[in-house]
Amino acid sequence: MKKLAIIDIGSNSMRVLIVKIMNGRNYQFVDELKSIVRLGRNMTADGAISEEKIRLAIIALSHFKRLCDSNDVTEIVAVATEAVRKASNQREFIDRAKKEIGIDIRVLSGDEEAYFDYLAVVNSIDVKSVLLMDIGGSSTEFILVKNRKLKECISIPMGAITLTDKFLSIKGNNQKRIKELEAFLVSNFDKIGWLKEASGMSLIGIGGSHRTIGKIHRNKINYPFNNPHNYIISSKDVIDIYNFLKNMGISQYKKVRGISRDRADIFVGAICCIATVIKYCNTKKLCISESGLRQGLLYGKLIEGYPPLVENILDFSLNNIMNNYNLDKDHLKLVWGFAKKLCAVFSDMLSMKDEDYRILKSAVMLSECGISLGFGSQENYSFYIVRNLKIYGLTHREQIMTAFVVSNFEEGKIKKTDYFGKILNCSDIEMIKKLSLVFYISRSLDRAYDGNVVDIDIEIEKEKVILNIVSKKESLLEMGMIDDCKDYFYKVFNKVLVVK
């Protein structure tokens, strides 16, 4: 086991992420700290970072180093992006960080920054062909992904700080300034020959400005699930937010729910750029990625080969969570084997899609998370944990359904939750009922955690389902557990369940 710290020295903010790495590929986030320094603002006439900004950055790095030392970090990976990349006094800043704090800083090229953004997204969101956009303080990266492969990328030297300062910090006709900014953006997009290949693709947004759009939208619709990652907004809704904000003064942004005080004064430049990209590429929806440069650097450390891509995002994520909670993998794999067999035999009764298999598998593999908090209410604990975990490879809807499958849910209670109507509908509840039954029967078949049941044989007749248990010794425990769900089985499938 080792602890790794990843420091991201951006043009707007600086962040450190501390990660515990176990068995080479499993990881657990330990701590994170952010400092708003804005290295990309108030640069001198000759393109140098001001002495005041360097002083603030050194202070932030000293705080990061102290956090690393207190967590016994064994390796620090510190990278800098556009503000340092273009600074005429880059060497001075890097040398001071090394001398005063003892941290070596690597300045990433624009292509390298785009590459790590790419790794972060394709290893945490199940996508095939999309356009990625990371708008920072002083630069914006575009990455074209086709069949999970990086096809094109570019970093252009304009971001939330530079666009706002150039077009929107001067007093005067704000609408005129906005139109000038939009025209400026389009003229720059026209220079990217391959960008029109992304026409009609979904846009995945990386960085604080995209996350802010997600917060504004979630607050606007009272979205009941507080997970910024893989949150999807229609392009129309993004444009509506932009049109609402562009008619306001920047001083009023702090009153908008979702816009933080430390981003309010630069957000208008960022959302103008995002909205213009959406229009330019005829994008239908925006998906927010919470994973970015730091997570991309982490995947580069975790996964062997080039490029370091996770083969199956969900399996990788589930395996990591199972290790973090010290779950009994042999038991869970046995239960999943029973669940798959039941699904295969019940195919006509279940009518499952790929997403339903993902939900059921996640429910099986994560069902025991709540035991770490104690027996008696473990299903409720598991519901809470599964609902709040970062499960890569699942949509928000799939994750909420997974949480209900592992709990002793009641249909009436689901319909009274905020999830119903905004995330779940009636057909989702019907599927939760079916998956919960498969989940319960499968778990019951290894209730003693001893592998007593080695196989099951199922016969489906017109009015009944016969479940024959093949075991090493008597299986009265398993049969008794399954007997408890017979009434519910009949209610859901309209068939009598017989266990032998």
Report the pLDDT averaged over residues 327-336: 96
Type of residue found at 173: N
Is there a single domain that holds both residue 272 and residue 338?
no
Whether a cis peptide bond, with omega within 30° of 0, leads into 228 is: no
Taking only the tens place, the pLDDT of each residue in 252-261 is 887 899 999 8
327 and 266 within one domain: no
CATH number where 83 lies: 3.30.420.40
Whether residue 487 contacts residue 480, with contact meaning beta carbons closer than 8 Å, is answered with no
- Are 319 and 285 found together in one domain? no
For residue 287, being part of any structural domain is answered with yes
Q: Judge contact between 375 and 394, C-beta under 8 A.
A: no
Does 219 map to a domain?
yes
Reply yes or no on whether the pLDDT at 411 is more than 90: no
Beta strands in 427-463 (DSSP E): 453-460
For residue 125, give the nearest of 391, 317, 392 by alpha carbon: 392
Residue 415 belongs to a domain with what CATH number? 1.10.3210.10
- Whether residues 261 and 322 share a domain: the answer is no
Cβ neighbors of 427 (< 8 A, separation 6 or more) are none
**Integer CA distances (angstroms), 373 to 65, 370, 381, in order:** 33, 6, 7
Closest C-alpha to 258, from 228, 232, 291: 228
Q: How confident is the model at residue 303 (pLDDT cuts 50, 70, 90)?
A: confident
Residue type for position 383: F
**Number of domains making up the chain:** 3
Which of 54-68, 169-183, 476-490 is the least confident region? Answer: 169-183
Tell me whether residue 301 is in a domain.
no
Contact 145, 118 (CB under 8 A): yes
For residues 404 and 367, give the distance between their C-alpha atoms in angstroms, rounded to a whole number.
11
71 and 133 both lie in a single domain = no
Structure tokens at 470: 């093949």
Do 323 and 427 share a domain, yes or no?
Answer: yes
Task: Give the pLDDT confidence score for residue 469 in this predicted structure.
Answer: 95
- Which token pair is 500? 């032998």
Hey, what are 366's tokens? 């994560």
Task: Tell me: pLDDT of 371 over 90.
Answer: no
Burial status of residue 116 (CB atoms within 10 A of its CB: 0-12, 13-18, 19 or more): buried
Query: Do 336 and 450 share a domain, yes or no?
Result: yes
> For residue 44, what are the domain limits?
2-107
In Å, the largest CA–CA distance within the chain is: 85
Q: Answer for the pair 263, 214: CB distance below 8 angstroms, yes or no.
A: no
For residues 99 and 210, membership in a common domain is answered with: no
- The pTM (predicted TM-score) of the whole model is 0.94
Are residues 470 and 343 both part of a single domain?
yes
Find which of 45-49, 234-238, 246-250 is predicted with most confidence, using mean pLDDT: 234-238
pLDDT over 90 at 24, yes or no: no
